């Protein structure tokens, strides 16, 4: 029974992960009809607020990810992906330490590119283009980056560790539960 509930929860999460951004995009597409003289109407205020929240949320997520990953690249620190590999596989080889450090740098570049592209499109492109980028293309771009890194790992490393996206998400979830502490698990 517990497995069925967990499967339903994951399936619901996946559906929401796909549906919510598309709904956001559809709401934002409707805002292209806002005219300056109608900005003070309730509907227009809602739409402008919705766009603002959507933009700030996207920028905050990518800024937070960039900041979190980049902080671990400082001298004397273990790169975040190296720490994740160590958590998943125990002690890791020197080759894997170098590789995972480079992957952490690659993810930082990805996050920075997402952030700069989002801000640039928001400021200079039609709203529909920006919305399509942040709401529709966001998850496929993250999956493409993950897939490209995985294929590169298989090509570059002599004995590459193999793990699924599910293993990584379970590990992140486990870390989150540890941070929340025992009070929130009751």
% of the chain beyond a pLDDT of 70: 61
| Statement: residue 186 has pLDDT above 50 | no
- What percent of the chain has a predicted confidence (pLDDT) above 90? 33
Residues 149-161 have a mean pLDDT of 82
Position with higher pLDDT, 6 vs 151: 151
Q: What is the pTM of this model?
A: 0.72
pLDDT digits (tens, 9 = 90+) for 75-107: 999 999 999 888 888 898 888 899 999 999 999
Residue 10 pLDDT > 70, yes or no? no
Name the average pLDDT for the chain: 78
User: Is-contact 161 96, C-beta < 8 A?
Assistant: yes
DSSP-assigned letter for residue 128: H
Alpha carbon distance 171, 152 (integer Å): 22
Of 7, 4, 31, 35, the closest CA to residue 135 belongs to 31
pLDDT tens for residues 11-70? 666 566 566 666 666 666 666 555 545 555 666 666 777 788 888 999 999 999 999 999
**Which long-range contacts does 150-155 make (Cβ < 8 Å, 24+ apart)?**
153/99, 153/103
Cβ burial of 140 (10 Å; 0-12, 13-18, 19+) is: exposed
């Amino acid at each position: 029974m517990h497995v069925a509930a967990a499967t339903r929860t994951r399936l619901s999460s996946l559906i929401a992960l796909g549906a919510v951004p598309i709904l956001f995009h559809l709401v934002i597409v409707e805002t292209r009809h806002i005219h300056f003289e109608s900005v003070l109407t309730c509907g227009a205020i809602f739409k402008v607020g919705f766009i603002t929240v959507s933009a700030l949320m996207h920028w905050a997520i990518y800024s937070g990810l960039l900041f979190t990953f980049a902080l671990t690249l400082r001298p004397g620190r273990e790169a975040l992906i190296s720490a994740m590999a160590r958590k998943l596989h125990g002690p890791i080889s020197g080759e894997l330490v170098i590789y995972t450090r480079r992957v952490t740098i690659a993810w930082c570049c990805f996050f920075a590119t997402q952030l700069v592209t989002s801000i640039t499109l928001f400021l200079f492109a039609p709203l529909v283009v920006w919305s399509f980028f942040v709401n529709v293309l966001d998850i496929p771009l993250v999956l493409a980056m993950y897939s490209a890194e995985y294929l590169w790992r298989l090509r570059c490393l002599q004995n590459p560790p193999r793990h699924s996206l599910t293993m990584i998400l379970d590990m992140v979830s486990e870390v989150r539960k540890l941070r929340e502490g025992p009070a929130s698990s009751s």
